[in-house]
């Protein structure tokens, strides 16, 4: 049975315009809750649709995103965050045919053209958005491969080329015109672009590395970080010595160090950075993975000079860094010159920051100062009318998903300019989230540990650039997706006039959430979507956003109305099955009428059988069913406390009523899975249907 999608408009009212914390933390505000819920019910194609609404790089993000959504996941108050990045990767890896089929060329609706300089994630996102808005778009990329730093600076063990290609093929399918291997300022002048286009967007990124004004930087064996990564990604492996020092403590430095190790597993690779361990800007997990591979990190040290011998690197003189930032947290390193050391190395790679190559703007009206492009952050406009900028060239170093976010913004301002000739200032919008999960609520929730994956053995993974992280199996993805709390999609008072303030909801709520303030009230920020209050409400005044009380009725009527019950195998069994019991989407797909006719079994998948009301349990008999089976989770498998207790009481009441009306209590039975539903459900159905109709069935 297909489950209803929550109404975004209604949910916005429910949460007073606040987003779930995961979506609020995402730079493009992906509807995380929705795509995870679609995964949980086997709708991987629908989950991809949700991802692609805001993020044209889901394959990339499924591999390398720093997942700020996970850091804000409210499940961390209970156990661990839902593995959202891995779920994203699962979706793109299991919908490839659908993804290709959904590609469409954008319809050109305007004679206006826009040129985008740079084909990184920001530039390509903006180009796609502008194409979808009906404009002609031309992209100019100096390299023959598109993707910017994603294509040339992310090591392949983190981001395989084919993953990036999937995303770029989606974007190119919109019909944007691409000029690759075309360097603006060399192959075509900036002035020519101005003449040929109505607007220009500069999205060149930060493609060059900074060096340091210290002695010895011209020695043989000194490399700049981005150039090093660029060569590695393109198979032009630099010749390194046996002892390598990477200077820097960010993510680029970690990538460089780990790439250097793969160029010679026996090499001794170290990193020296100004920051102490807690201050290092690199992601914690990247640091840990690097150390597993044998990378040594020297914290709180800064280079004083490159020691050379016969024109080549022989070592690096280091000095102790006492502090990196001043009281306003501005970069202002302080050194203790009395504490120094020297390490013997053959190669040094600088990874201390990046800059843009803006040579193509020389002798143009576009203002550049100190090597930086001058740009108004609110309008993304440069000093030259009709010329805009986005991405890291404006924002500074960031993540791929942050670049995508600026690409979306740039498309808005460029589109507005093309349409009106005016500059649009983007309003500063403070994103509100629903806030943390209250500790009292979290304390009552059941723990279900996060499903992780084991990386390749460090000794093996440093031998080459093969991907080191396996993806989820279907069973793992379904199980992990069901850990999502589906925040703010819980119970609400649907029919206020029906509520008598009887306190039933307060009495049975396993999380202590329900309140009565003259009428029932379930705070959206606290409700955990178990649905017990809706199932037990004597006035049927309560509904659940994630799974409305009308869902069972609608699904049953829709299916049964299309069946010729005279031809259905008897006894005709309706089986309510818990969504969490499935390990694959075989039973999550819509059930064909022929299957129901031949098997005599209609399965109805619900998020939790504990939210079935007496009316839900009786309705199949009204529609012609001979028997009804309710199959609950295995022991300790339910996500909600006290559900089995209340479900048992409800079934007992329903069975008593069935006896009173002459149907027979034995025609309704409660079963418990003793393993995965995919295996245990068919056995339960067969056994229940095989019992003589006149013989009472016991639990």
- Quick: pLDDT tens for 450-485: 999 999 999 999 999 999 999 999 999 999 999 999
What would the mean pLDDT of 165-191 be, rounded to a whole number?
97
What would the mean pLDDT of 180-199 be, rounded to a whole number?
96
Question: In this predicted structure, which of 253-262, 384-393, 587-596 has the lowest mean pLDDT?
Answer: 587-596
pLDDT(696) > 70: no
Class of domain 550-699: alpha beta
pLDDT(2) > 70: no
pLDDT at 10: 38
Strands 113-117 and 387-389: unpaired
pLDDT(556) > 70: yes
The first and second tokens of residue 118, run together, are 């740079």
pLDDT at 698: 39
Task: Give the three-class secondary structure for 574.
Answer: strand
pLDDT at 130: 98
Measured distance CA(328)–CA(337) in Å, rounded = 24
- What CATH code is assigned to 1-18+488-547? 3.30.70.20
pLDDT at 281: 94
- What is the tally of helices (H) and strands (E) in the chain? 27, 25
Give the confidence band of 15 by pLDDT, cuts at 50, 70, 90.
low
- 30-45 per-position pLDDT tens digit: 999 999 999 999 999 9
Q: Is it true that 1-18+488-547 and 113-206+355-420 share their CATH fold?
A: no
Sign of the alpha-carbon dihedral angle for 592, 593, 599, 602: positive
Return the residue matching tokens 């006896």.
Answer: 659
351-to-7, 324, 526, 689 alpha-carbon distances in Å: 47, 16, 45, 69
Give the confidence band of 694 by pLDDT, cuts at 50, 70, 90.
very low
Cβ within 8 Å of residue 90, ≥6 positions away: 39, 44, 62, 471, 472, 474, 477
| C-alpha of 570 from chain center | 46
pLDDT at 16: 53
Please provide the average confidence, as pLDDT, over all residues in the chain: 92
Give the confidence band of 17 by pLDDT, cuts at 50, 70, 90.
low
Buried b (16+ CB within 10 A) or exposed e, 262-279: bbebebbbbbbbbbeeee
- CATH superfamily, domain 113-206+355-420, is FAD/NAD(P)-binding domain (3.50.50.60)
The domain ranges of the chain are 1-18+488-547, 113-206+355-420, 208-351, 550-699
pLDDT at 699: 36
pLDDT(8) > 80: no
Question: In this predicted structure, which of 19-23, 235-239, 315-319, 475-479 has the lowest mean pLDDT?
Answer: 235-239
Give the confidence band of 358 by pLDDT, cuts at 50, 70, 90.
very high
- 40-84 per-position pLDDT tens digit: 999 999 999 999 999 999 999 999 999 999 999 999 999 999 999
pLDDT at 635: 73
pLDDT(13) > 80: no
The DSSP secondary structure of 453-513, one letter per residue, reads -PPPPHHHHTTS---------HHHHHHHHTT---TT-SEEES-GGG-----HHHHH-TTS-
pLDDT at 12: 43
pLDDT at 581: 86
Q: Are 166 and 103 in contact (CB under 8 A)?
A: no
401-to-25, 53, 126, 520 alpha-carbon distances in Å: 11, 14, 13, 41
* CATH architecture group of domain 208-351: 3-Layer(bba) Sandwich (3.50)
Cβ within 8 Å of residue 301, ≥6 positions away: 272, 273, 274, 318, 319, 320, 321, 341
pLDDT at 11: 40
Measured distance CA(381)–CA(604) in Å, rounded = 55
Q: Are 413 and 404 in contact (CB under 8 A)?
A: no
pLDDT at 692: 60
Q: Are 246 and 268 in contact (CB under 8 A)?
A: no
Measured distance CA(592)–CA(32) in Å, rounded = 30
Task: Give the three-class secondary structure for 335.
Answer: strand
pLDDT(27) > 80: yes
The DSSP secondary structure of 192-219, one letter per residue, reads HHHHH-SEEEE-----EE---SSTTTTS
């Amino acid at each position: 049975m297909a489950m209803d999608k929550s109404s975004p408009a209604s949910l916005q009212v429910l949460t007073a315009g606040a987003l779930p914390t995961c979506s609020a933390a995402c730079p493009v505000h992906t509807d995380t809750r929705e795509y995870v819920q679609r995964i949980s019910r086997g709708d991987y194609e629908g989950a991809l649709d949700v991802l692609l609404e805001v993020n044209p790089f889901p394959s990339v993000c499924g591999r390398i995103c720093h997942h700020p959504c996970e850091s804000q996941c409210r499940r961390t108050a209970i156990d661990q965050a839902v593995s959202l990045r891995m779920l994203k990767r699962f979706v793109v890896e299991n919908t490839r045919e659908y993804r290709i089929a959904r590609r469409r060329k954008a319809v050109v609706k305007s004679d206006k053209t826009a040129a985008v300089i740079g084909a990184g994630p920001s530039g390509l996102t903006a180009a796609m958005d502008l194409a979808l808005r009906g404009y002609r778009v031309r992209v100019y990329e100096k390299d023959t491969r598109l993707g910017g730093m994603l294509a040339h600076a992310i090591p392949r063990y983190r981001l395989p080329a084919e993953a990036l290609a999937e995303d770029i093929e989606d974007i190119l399918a919109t019909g944007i015109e691409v000029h690759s291997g075309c360097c603006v300022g060399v192959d075509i002048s900036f002035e020519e672009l101005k003449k040929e286009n109505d607007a220009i967007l500069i999205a060149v990124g930060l493609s060059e590395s900074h060096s340091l004004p210290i002695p010895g930087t011209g020695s043989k064996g000194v490399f700049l970080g981005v150039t090093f990564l660029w060569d590695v990604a393109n198979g032009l492996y630099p010749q390194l010595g046996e002892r390598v020092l990477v200077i820097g403590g960010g993510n680029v430095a970690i990538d460089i160090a780990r790439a250097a190790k793969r160029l010679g597993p026996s090499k001794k690779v170290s990193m020296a950075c100004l920051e102490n361990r807690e201050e290092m800007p690199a992601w914690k997990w990247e640091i840990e993975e690097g150390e597993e591979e044998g990378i040594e990190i020297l914290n709180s040290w800064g280079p004083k000079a490159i020691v050379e011998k016969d024109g080549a690197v022989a070592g690096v003189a280091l000095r102790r860094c006492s502090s990196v930032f001043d009281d306003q947290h501005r970069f202002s390193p302080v050194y203790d010159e009395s504490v120094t050391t020297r390490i013997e190395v053959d190669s040094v790679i600088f990874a201390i920051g990046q800059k843009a190559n803006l040579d193509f703007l020389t002798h143009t009206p576009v203002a550049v100062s100190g090597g930086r492009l001058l740009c108004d952050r609110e309008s993304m406009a440069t000093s030259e009318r009709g010329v805009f900028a986005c991405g890291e060239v404006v924002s500074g170093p960031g993540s791929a998903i942050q670049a995508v976010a600026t690409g979306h913004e740039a498309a808005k301002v460029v589109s507005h300019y093309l349409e009106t000739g005016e500059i649009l200032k983007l309003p500063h919008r403070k994103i509100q989230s629903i806030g943390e999960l209250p500790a009292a609520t979290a304390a009552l929730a059941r723990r279900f540990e996060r499903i992780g994956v084991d990386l390749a053995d460090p000794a093996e993974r440093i031998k080459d650039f093969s991907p080191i992280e396996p993806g989820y199996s279907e069973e793992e993805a379904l199980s992990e997706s069901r850990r999502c709390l589906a925040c703010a999609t819980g119970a609400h008072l649907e029919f206020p006039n029906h509520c008598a303030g009887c306190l039933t909801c307060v009495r049975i709520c396993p999380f202590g959430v329900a309140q009565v303030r003259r009428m029932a009230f379930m705070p959206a920020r606290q409700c955990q979507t178990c649905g017990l209050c809706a199932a037990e409400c004597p006035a049927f005044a309560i509904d659940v956003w994630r799974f409305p009380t009308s869902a069972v009725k609608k699904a049953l009527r829709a299916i049964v109305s299309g069946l010729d019950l005279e031809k259905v195998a008897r006894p005709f069994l309706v089986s309510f099955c818990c969504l969490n019991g499935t390990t694959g989407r075989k039973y999550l797909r819509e059930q064909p009428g022929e299957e129901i006719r031949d098997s005599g079994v209609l399965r109805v998948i619900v998020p939790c059988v504990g939210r079935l009301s007496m009316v839900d349990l009786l309705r199949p008999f009204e529609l012609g069913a001979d028997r009804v089976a309710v199959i609950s989770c295995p022991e300790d498998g339910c996500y909600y406390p006290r559900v089995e207790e209340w479900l048992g009481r409800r079934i007992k009441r329903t069975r008593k009523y069935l006896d009173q009306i002459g149907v027979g209590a034995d025609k309704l039975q409660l079963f418990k899975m003793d393993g995965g539903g995919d295996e245990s459900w068919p056995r339960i159905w067969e056994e229940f249907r095989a019992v003589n109709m006149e013989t009472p069935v016991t639990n």
